[in-house]
A and B are shown apart, each in its own frame.
Chain A
């Protein structure tokens, strides 16, 4: 066993402007619970991301588990041994997948067998109290429950190094204990495992074996907590930290005056819940909750994760309609449409809900503006809040570049910007460091005491709850108790509020199950450890584990399975992909007709003789033309052509019949609307044909038969589609079009969506290779699209009654290769784009246009010019169109069509290779 888990030397990391890490040299001992502690924004997360291999190293040396993390080969080897849980609530989870499926996915990534996966899911969910919720989608879990699930996912493969970034953010006190119990048991069972945790909470840091204190991207000190306290002569870690700060920074960290506010008599109820109930389906999230909050009161809301606090708060803001009961604000029932009330309320949601793509300053300015604060007043207010919440240095940063704690401060600043008289705050201090939390509570206290603001605040920090005037304790949708914190402690007979709370919750929920599970964790862990050491002693390899480093089919299938599940959870998308393609085939095949008929024409007849009427009668009688009322004058001709009413105007000159009778040549004018050249071309053809026909008829009538005999006959055979029917030409052309656009659009969001929502981290830190990731995503969509393909062919044969004259096997094989190419087109776009909007628009622009215009659907590729021709030559649709038309209309088999397979077979690896190149394995 090596003596250190990670070793850093001269590590620097700078984002656009801000320096996150400024020359860190650090050795983290192995086999212990090591912590990185420091306030928000000192570089803890960056440090952990570098160690876990999630972020690319820019400067300095990072050695993890005995190897250089700069080397891709070492990263590949160590990834199976590292588990990383990123910061933020549920960032690396898949919302539409259930709890069990999320854990199962991670287990599969690390190559665990079926029985093993099931056993571990069962064990971990019981140990974390998630056993009841294994079937619930992760998106429907509360923030704290998502954190627990994140830990389960990290622990599932018995890592040698567990990297946890502020794992207990938003986790309730009881769960927090269970969380650390679980980590403790896992460690006890696997003494070799190293755990590295980032935290901003010094109390939490007390339990660590070894600490690294970090400030402003620099290391302050390292060592066991006791040693650090001893070295500084401080009685707490927090004091030790402050003592270790450079003198200049120390001033900023003067221990804050935790001013208790004077109690005020409760006047009228400002916020009131009367038997408030909310059900989602058959699940009752809030059950008969009743309480009332007086003016100027600080009312705390504590309870286990997922007990209904957020739902209750949303009903009080009017965001959510109660199923039963009444939510009242300012003595009136909450009316979601009442803007005047909204102006008096500030609300901060549990999940970050400001604009990620706007800078801090712009977010604040937008909020100020929407509440009617403008100009200098707004600027002054923003400056004031930036100072109060310590955001001055970040005003021009994007929220996503901010540490979690600063992001929370921004949300809070936005919630109070309009000086509301009621503040409803849903876990506002989750993830905020203690110093900032104190400062924040001072602000709250002042708001309440000086300005009479009523505060309704939920929290998982019991020292915060203790500062409230009254606290409501909630569990499983019910309000268990409402009283002053001291009274609650007294009633429970516990030492402090936290103990009282934990005791009360223990009474409510049976955690015998989780205790038993924890014991099992230890026992199982010891067995695994023995198996591992037996392994390394040279026994036969354990087939259930040991995933391959480079390419592993199981990992690929794990990604495919997850993508498939997400698709299954979205029946609307499935339906649109399948039924949508059928509808489109219908609309487009019938709609895009290349037969030009029903053309409008009118006559300006200045001759008005039998002969002139005879001439135009030919056109009027044709099935291609529809006659409109005669034209009366030159001006009318021009006006009606201009209005687009006429496609063709025929002008017969005066004396037409007389001229012909006298053997003089007469001239007929034909005006064609040229604004649509294709149509004009067709009209020209028709008119010329009819003119020639008329002349021939006249000649015959005049007895000039002989002169008109042509010296040859031209026998024109329209092959493959003798009746020149549009449908026969269109259906086999529309199918390739749809099979490009829909599959490309399906995969176009797959990667960029993970980038936007955060789960891409899992790809960064697990052993998955880029090819496994991409092909895994691609597979389900190829299968789905093959389904569409069969459906479309079936439609063509049955509804459109088009014969498949050639080989179905060839057509299907072509479709399979083509779909692989189409989905790869989507993947290329998806890996390249940064936002989902850009991916959608990009797919529309980069795939619809070449498929419709350059692939030979209407104009053959060989006739195209310029860039369009070049694109058309290489675009997959061109070649599958050839296969589809060949198989449908021309009755061809593989022999004749193999030429079209070659470019498709080349396109798939080229496109996939491009996607692989565009996809970064590490965050940069």
Chain B
């Protein structure tokens, strides 16, 4: 293998990319606007949840309850009738519907423990659970406060106070998490697509065959693609981390940026190798396009960037250890949020290296086979 050939072919890849302004614009979009939009779209825990209240009581207490549902957690409640409540739930217009029964205030004050009915649209999984909790807390506070005015100082102070503190993201700001995770997703996406598609284009245009009559080895061709495309993604990722994630979204980066970028390099090695492997497996661009979806979607959704790994079934958790993304997401969270150093994240670095070498070997074998089977 000669590095000079790798460099030359790598420069060629970069020149090709520069010739495609729409592609460049897409890369810029993917690493700026798209990350920002996706990160900031995610609500801060419960945000403006639609709630419908049926006030059959029309008492000071029930009005106090209705007024208690305020932004940012809830949209101002829509008053409605019991009959309309069902259809609002059905049509997905509201996620929660609270029914305050007639004579609620009277019964509360009389100690009859009247029942409030809360309907939750449970198909909205994330909101259903936390939203119900918030509503319960709000109702509790309002009714409790109302009752207290009547029989002051009745309940003893709780003997134990719970002091809850969220580390690394005290306000549990979703955008911090979203910004970093969207960035990792873009890195994987671009790395795999760029290398795989660049390889298929060479095959479709007959240039790969042409390279194989020149003194160039498959290893050189492959390394050139991996290095050049990896470089492009690395640059895009670094700029996006500093300008979009840190400056624009305002994520306080706790750990070392160079360490994160070192991890990114390892991840890119694995992801671009995977791109080559997919590019040798697919025989045409349309096949590659579908293959990409079949691979990318599970990678992005099961890497732990979307939902916590803990909640995945064991076999998927185990299977996803073979995916570079999983380790990359872990090390990104550790370094960027928790400020972890190499002493903490070395297992992820090692795992990425192992997965990367395995993917590289597999893609080189596939690439050699593809070159051998070029002519027909």
Q: Is B247 an interface residue (CB 8 A)?
A: no
Q: Is B338 an interface residue (CB 8 A)?
A: yes
Q: How far is the CA of A892 from the CA of B339 in the complex (A)?
A: 49
CB-CB < 8 A to A345: which residues of B?
213
- What 1/0 mask marks residues of chain A from 15 to 48 whose CB sits below 8 Å from any chain B CB? 0000000000000000000000000000000000
Chain B 43-99 residues near chain A, CB threshold 8 A: 43-50, 75, 87, 89-92, 95
Contacting pair B122 A719 (CB below 8 A): yes
Contacting pair A671 B121 (CB below 8 A): no
In the complex with contacts A352-B206, A707-B156, A838-B26, A859-B126 CB distance below 8 A: yes
Q: How far is the CA of A862 from the CA of B47 in the complex (A)?
A: 9
Q: How far is the CA of A618 from the CA of B220 in the complex (A)?
A: 60
Contacting pair B210 A349 (CB below 8 A): yes
Interface size, chain A (Cβ < 8 Å)? 163
CB-CB < 8 A to B296: which residues of A?
844, 848
Closest to B340 in A: A642
- What 1/0 mask marks residues of chain B from 116 to 150 whose CB sits below 8 Å from any chain A CB? 11111111111111101101100110011001000
Q: Is B361 an interface residue (CB 8 A)?
A: no
Q: Is B257 an interface residue (CB 8 A)?
A: no
Q: Which of A594, A717, A843 contacts B125 (CB 8 A)?
A: A594
Closest to A365 in B: B8
Q: Is A745 an interface residue (CB 8 A)?
A: yes
Q: Which of A351, A660, A685 contacts B130 (CB 8 A)?
A: A685
Q: Is A860 an interface residue (CB 8 A)?
A: yes
Q: Which of B289, B308, B311 contacts A748 (CB 8 A)?
A: B289
In the complex with contacts A642-B340, A685-B130, A717-B120 CB distance below 8 A: yes
Q: Return A670 CB to nearest CB of chain B, in Å.
A: 5
CB-CB < 8 A to B30: which residues of A?
841, 845
Interface size, chain B (Cβ < 8 Å)? 152
Contacting pair B23 A835 (CB below 8 A): yes
Q: Is B369 an interface residue (CB 8 A)?
A: no
Contacting pair B122 A729 (CB below 8 A): yes
Q: How far is the CA of A339 from the CA of B283 in the complex (A)?
A: 26
Chain A 369-391 residues near chain B, CB threshold 8 A: 369-372
CB-CB < 8 A to B285: which residues of A?
749, 753, 836, 840
Q: Is B239 an interface residue (CB 8 A)?
A: no
Contacting pair A717 B119 (CB below 8 A): yes
Q: Return A899 CB to nearest CB of chain B, in Å.
A: 6
- What 1/0 mask marks residues of chain A from 579 to 622 whose CB sits below 8 Å from any chain B CB? 01001100110111111111110000000000000010000000
Q: Return A481 CB to nearest CB of chain B, in Å.
A: 26
Output the residue of A597, A728, A845 with the most chain B CB within 10 A.
A845
Q: Return A715 CB to nearest CB of chain B, in Å.
A: 5
The interface residues of chain B, by DSSP majority, are classed as: helix
Contacting pair B12 A366 (CB below 8 A): yes
Q: Return B160 CB to nearest CB of chain A, in Å.
A: 5
Contacting pair B193 A712 (CB below 8 A): no
Q: Is A742 an interface residue (CB 8 A)?
A: yes
Contacting pair B216 A370 (CB below 8 A): yes
Closest to A651 in B: B163
Contacting pair B301 A837 (CB below 8 A): no
Closest to B7 in A: A369
Contacting pair A680 B301 (CB below 8 A): no
CB-CB < 8 A to B46: which residues of A?
863
In the complex with contacts A317-B213, A357-B19, A753-B302 CB distance below 8 A: no
Contacting pair A677 B177 (CB below 8 A): yes
Closest to B19 in A: A357
CB-CB < 8 A to B144: which residues of A?
711
Q: Return B214 CB to nearest CB of chain A, in Å.
A: 5
Q: Is B298 an interface residue (CB 8 A)?
A: yes
Q: Return B106 CB to nearest CB of chain A, in Å.
A: 12
CB-CB < 8 A to B306: which residues of A?
592, 852, 858
- What 1/0 mask marks residues of chain B from 296 to 324 whose CB sits below 8 Å from any chain A CB? 11101110001110111100100000000
Q: How far is the CA of A886 from the CA of B95 in the complex (A)?
A: 13
Q: Return A545 CB to nearest CB of chain B, in Å.
A: 34
Q: Return A296 CB to nearest CB of chain B, in Å.
A: 21
Q: Return B158 CB to nearest CB of chain A, in Å.
A: 6
Contacting pair B41 A865 (CB below 8 A): yes
Q: How far is the CA of A366 from the CA of B16 in the complex (A)?
A: 12
Q: How far is the CA of A594 from the CA of B128 in the complex (A)?
A: 11
CB-CB < 8 A to B308: which residues of A?
596, 676, 678-679
Q: Return B345 CB to nearest CB of chain A, in Å.
A: 8
Q: How far is the CA of A859 from the CA of B310 in the complex (A)?
A: 20
Q: Is B161 an interface residue (CB 8 A)?
A: yes
In the complex with contacts A318-B213, A715-B115, A742-B293, A862-B122 CB distance below 8 A: no
Q: Which of A337, A681, A719 contacts B120 (CB 8 A)?
A: A719
Contacting pair A835 B316 (CB below 8 A): no
Q: Which of B132, B210, B294, B334 contacts A583 (CB 8 A)?
A: B294
Contacting pair A319 B123 (CB below 8 A): no
Q: Is A74 an interface residue (CB 8 A)?
A: no
Q: Is A889 an interface residue (CB 8 A)?
A: yes
Closest to A320 in B: B375
Closest to B344 in A: A643
In the complex with contacts A319-B375, A592-B307, A885-B92, A844-B292 CB distance below 8 A: yes
Q: How far is the CA of A336 from the CA of B211 in the complex (A)?
A: 12
CB-CB < 8 A to A797: which residues of B?
none
Comparing A173-181, A188-196, A661-669, the segment that makes contact with chain B is A661-669
Closest to A867 in B: B37
Contacting pair B286 A684 (CB below 8 A): no
Q: Is B5 an interface residue (CB 8 A)?
A: yes
In the complex with contacts A682-B129, A866-B37, A718-B122 CB distance below 8 A: yes
Q: Is A70 an interface residue (CB 8 A)?
A: no
CB-CB < 8 A to A478: which residues of B?
none
Q: Which of A644, A671, A695, A713 contacts B114 (CB 8 A)?
A: A713
Q: How far is the CA of A892 from the CA of B46 in the complex (A)?
A: 27
Known A319-B209, A840-B197, A841-B26; 11 more pairs at CB < 8 Å: A362-B15, A590-B316, A595-B311, A643-B344, A644-B344, A666-B159, A666-B161, A836-B197, A845-B189, A856-B124, A899-B91
Closest 8 CB pairs of A and B: A868-B41, A674-B166, A674-B169, A675-B337, A721-B122, A353-B206, A718-B122, A867-B37
